[in-house]
């Protein structure tokens, strides 16, 4: 029987909702989708593909995101947030070293989760990231003309659990169901491997604005297996800009007796000039830096590529050690790597290319735009999850070992780094005192021997242990790292088979309640979002109805000829459809909805007839076929 799927108003077609891929970057963010079997970046209305990861919070409570916010960086430095990715999932102590570079303020009161303070209001990094995600979401909805609620978001491979959780929280606050957190270098490899029957080992060197990752993958019959990953979450192209800006400021100080450190707008201007010079030196042998100083004098200098490379060399050198460690973990020599892929804007720097080529002894690939390849790969993974892309499977790893604190402050590793995820481990604990009914467990992430040198993930308490003599209870704790690299914990007392209660206090990160509150707040502050979404939904439905009507309306003539339908009824339907066509562009969803209801009311009987007609046809067809068989 043919599918009787008639999306005349009110009847919805069942379709897998589209999943988009998002690269939430330190400097720029992008959104991409699978157009058939090709991943494509979604541009904004002006055709721009990169969204600067910059959010400006205005005094009146409104905000600006992207290019417009970036333009305000110098005039509005203290209320414009950039590089928020460097703060994701971090505590105040973690970001001490770079606080001095940030023109915006961090609250002194919040030690566990960094808060940005603007006009006395506090913003957590996931909230700021959510502003960027919402903008990308709107961009995708406008382009694809359908509501977008599901996404795959990429993170640096070397992000720890807190940083991944913070990214997922940002998605939730932005109204996105984050189906998967994918590692950036792995995503890039997916984009490169999509239409090529590639086999062999691939190294992905990913130097972004603020993070560095190296991943080594084995490709075999559509399976992308990550064998080792390493990196540094605080190393990137930004550091080159800072070194260059520092050098310029030194020269200004030497000439003028001051570097105007009390003028954040000027410091910001110098940083931007440094970034522009770095980009110029990708193709040119020299770049010019012009600055008008706050005291009215001028600063001018020509920067040779060699001079810049001298400044950038220590940063590039720092990336090579993680590469060697990843090779060692993979048990491979540089010669055994078949291909090298470059990802991230900072890999445009010629010095980076030379050093990578020297290390792996082969010319790296850069056919795909290094700024876009991660988003394209995220779209591929989105396609795998929605069933749109077949035959590919990504097997990724956890970047850092997971351990628990033992007596004396040492760490016992229970899941080693570079284990394919999902994975898990079971660990048995017991009590130290007679009648003890709870046990405290401290979970850590990192490679160091002592608990204090590793990243604290969470402390939790196993409770509800039946009172027994010391050492008798056997508490079995199961640690499970899921396909997103996120940890879940369960516990059970083995002798009595009772489930123990676990109370988890994340060491760094928002609690569920905080995230819920932020989601609510974000909706209060973003009625606009809801309106846009409702409008897009209504418009999409209107388009479907109009398209379907065009297909079935010719049947009306047939029904009228057979006396089953009156000419006036058809007139009413045609008029209602005409009205729908006119209001389709309306700004207000309610107007479109009302017209859709009208169409549904006047066409209900016609729709029933179309349905009966289709059933009759189908039955007739079946009978004929049966007849033919006999």
Instruction: Supply the residues annotated as catalytic.
Output: 23, 85, 184, 206
Is residue 406 close enough to count as binding other proteins by CB under 8 A? no
Is residue 112 close enough to count as binding other proteins by CB under 8 A? no
Is residue 585 close enough to count as binding other proteins by CB under 8 A? no
Binding mask of the shown chain, residues 443 to 462, with x at each position contacting other proteins by CB under 8 A:
---------------x-x--
Is residue 25 close enough to count as binding other proteins by CB under 8 A? no
Residue 230 CB coordination number (10 Å): 26
Residue 412 CB coordination number (10 Å): 11
- Tokens 């200004």, residue located: 252
| Dist. CA 459–CA 405, nearest whole Å | 10
Binding mask of the shown chain, residues 427 to 446, with x at each position contacting other proteins by CB under 8 A:
-x------------------
Q: Give the burial string for 383-410 (b: 16+ CB within 10 Å, else e).
A: bbbbebbeebebbbbbbbbbbbbeeeee
Is residue 419 close enough to count as binding other proteins by CB under 8 A? yes
Is residue 410 close enough to count as binding other proteins by CB under 8 A? no
Tell me the pairing of strands 200-207 and 339-343: parallel
Among 276, 502, 519, 618, binds other proteins (CB under 8 A): 502
| Dist. CA 190–CA 184, nearest whole Å | 10
- Decide whether 423 or 540 has the Cβ nearer to other proteins: 423
Is residue 425 close enough to count as binding other proteins by CB under 8 A? yes
At closest approach, how far in Å is the CB of 182 from other proteins? 11
At closest approach, how far in Å is the CB of 178 from other proteins? 12
Is residue 423 close enough to count as binding other proteins by CB under 8 A? yes
Structure tokens at 492: 């059970």
Is residue 482 close enough to count as binding other proteins by CB under 8 A? yes
At closest approach, how far in Å is the CB of 498 from other proteins? 14
Binding mask of the shown chain, residues 200 to 229, with x at each position contacting other proteins by CB under 8 A:
--------------------xx-x------
Q: Which of 279-287, 299-307, 434-442, 487-495 is the region at the interface with other proteins (rule: CB under 8 A)? A: 487-495
- Decide whether 124 or 165 has the Cβ nearer to other proteins: 165
Do residues 343 and 370 make contact, with C-beta atoms less than 8 angstroms apart? Answer: yes
Structure tokens at 32: 């991409």
Interface positions, 157-186, toward other proteins (CB under 8 A): 165, 179
Is residue 422 close enough to count as binding other proteins by CB under 8 A? yes
| Dist. CA 375–CA 578, nearest whole Å | 40
At closest approach, how far in Å is the CB of 417 from other proteins? 12
- Decide whether 87 or 118 has the Cβ nearer to other proteins: 87
At closest approach, how far in Å is the CB of 305 from other proteins? 30
- Decide whether 223 or 590 has the Cβ nearer to other proteins: 223
At closest approach, how far in Å is the CB of 316 from other proteins? 19
At closest approach, how far in Å is the CB of 312 from other proteins? 22
Is residue 382 close enough to count as binding other proteins by CB under 8 A? no
The CA–CA distances, whole Å, from 296 to 273, 293, 524 equal 17, 5, 45
Q: Which of 122-130, 231-239, 311-319, 419-427 is the region at the interface with other proteins (rule: CB under 8 A)? A: 419-427
SS3 letters for 300-357? EEEEEHHHHHHHHHHHHHHHHHHHHHHHHHHCCCHHHCCEEEEECHHHHCHHHHHHHH
**Residue 56, C-beta contacts closer than 8 angstroms, at least 6 positions apart:** 63, 64, 65, 68, 69, 72, 76, 79, 80, 81
Q: Which of 14, 18, 23 is nearest to 536 (CA)?
A: 18
Structure tokens at 148: 């977008």
- Decide whether 11 or 425 has the Cβ nearer to other proteins: 425
| Dist. CA 451–CA 444, nearest whole Å | 7
Is residue 21 close enough to count as binding other proteins by CB under 8 A? no
């Amino acid at each position: 029987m043919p599918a009787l799927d008639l999306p005349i108003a009110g009847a919805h077609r069942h379709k897998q909702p589209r999943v988009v891929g998002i690269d939430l970057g330190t400097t720029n963010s992008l959104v991409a989708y699978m157009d058939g079997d090709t991943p494509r970046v979604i541009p904004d209305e002006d055709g721009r593909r990169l969204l600067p990861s910059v959010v400006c919070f205005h005094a009146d409570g409104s905000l600006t995101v992207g290019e417009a916010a970036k333009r305000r960086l110098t005039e509005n430095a203290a209320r414009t947030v950039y590089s928020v990715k460097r703060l994701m999932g971090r505590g105040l102590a973690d970001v001490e070293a770079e606080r001095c570079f940030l023109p915006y303020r961090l609250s002194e009161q919040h030690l566990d989760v960094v808060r940005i303070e603007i006009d006395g209001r506090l913003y957590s990094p996931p909230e700021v990231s959510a502003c960027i995600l919402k903008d990308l979401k709107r961009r995708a909805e406008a382009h694809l003309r359908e509501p977008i609620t599901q996404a795959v978001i990429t993170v640096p491979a070397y992000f720890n659990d807190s940083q991944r959780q913070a990214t997922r929280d940002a998605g939730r606050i932005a109204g996105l169901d984050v189906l998967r957190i994918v590692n950036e270098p792995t995503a890039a490899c997916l984009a490169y491997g999509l239409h090529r029957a590639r086999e062999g080992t691939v190294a992905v060197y990913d130097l972004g604005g603020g993070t560095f990752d190296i991943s080594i993958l084995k490709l075999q019959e559509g399976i992308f297996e990550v064998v080792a990953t390493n990196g540094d979450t605080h190393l990137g192209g930004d550091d080159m800009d800072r070194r260059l800006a520092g050098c310029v400021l030194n020269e200004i100080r030497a000439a003028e007796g001051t570097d105007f450190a009390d003028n954040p707008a000027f410091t910001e201007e110098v940083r931007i000039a440094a970034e522009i010079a770095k980009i110029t030196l990708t193709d040119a042998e020299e770049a010019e830096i012009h600055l008008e100083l706050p005291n009215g004098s001028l600063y001018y200098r020509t920067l040779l590529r060699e001079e810049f490379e001298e400044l950038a060399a220590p940063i590039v050198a720092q990336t090579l050690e993680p590469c060697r460690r990843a090779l060692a973990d993979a048990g491979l020599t540089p010669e055994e790597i078949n291909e090298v892929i470059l990802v991230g804007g900072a890999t445009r720097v010629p010095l980076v290319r030379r050093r990578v080529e020297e290390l792996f002894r082969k010319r790296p690939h850069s056919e795909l735009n290094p700024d876009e390849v991660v988003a394209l790969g995220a779209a591929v993974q989105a396609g795998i999850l929605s069933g749109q892309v077949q035959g590919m499977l990504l097997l990724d790893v956890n970047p850092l070992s997971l351990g628990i604190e033992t007596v004396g402050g040492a760490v016992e590793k229970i899941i080693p780094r570079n284990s394919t995820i999902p994975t898990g481990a079971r660990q048995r604990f017991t009590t130290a005192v007679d009648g003890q009914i709870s046990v405290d467990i401290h979970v850590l992430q990192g490679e160091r021997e002592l608990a204090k040198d590793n990243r604290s993930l969470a402390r939790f308490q196993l409770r509800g242990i039946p009172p027994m003599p010391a050492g008798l209870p056997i508490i079995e704790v199961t640690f499970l790292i899921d396909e997103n690299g996120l940890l879940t914990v369960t516990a059970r007392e083995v002798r009595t088979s009772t489930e123990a209660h676990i109370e988890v206090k994340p060491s760094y990160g928002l609690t569920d309640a905080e995230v819920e509150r932020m989601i609510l707040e974000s909706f209060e502050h973003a009625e606009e979002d809801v309106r846009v979404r409702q409008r897009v939904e209504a418009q999409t439905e209107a388009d479907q109805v109009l398209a379907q009507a065009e297909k079935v309306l010719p049947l009306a003539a047939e029904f009228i000829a057979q006396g089953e339908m009156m000419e006036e009824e058809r007139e009413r339907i045609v008029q209602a459809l005409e009205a729908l066509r006119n209001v389709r562009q309306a700004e207000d969803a309610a107007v479109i909805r009302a017209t859709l209801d009208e169409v549904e009311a006047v066409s209900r009987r016609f729709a029933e007839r179309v349905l009966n007609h289709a059933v009759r046809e189908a039955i007739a067809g079946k009978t004929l076929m049966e007849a033919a068989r006999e």
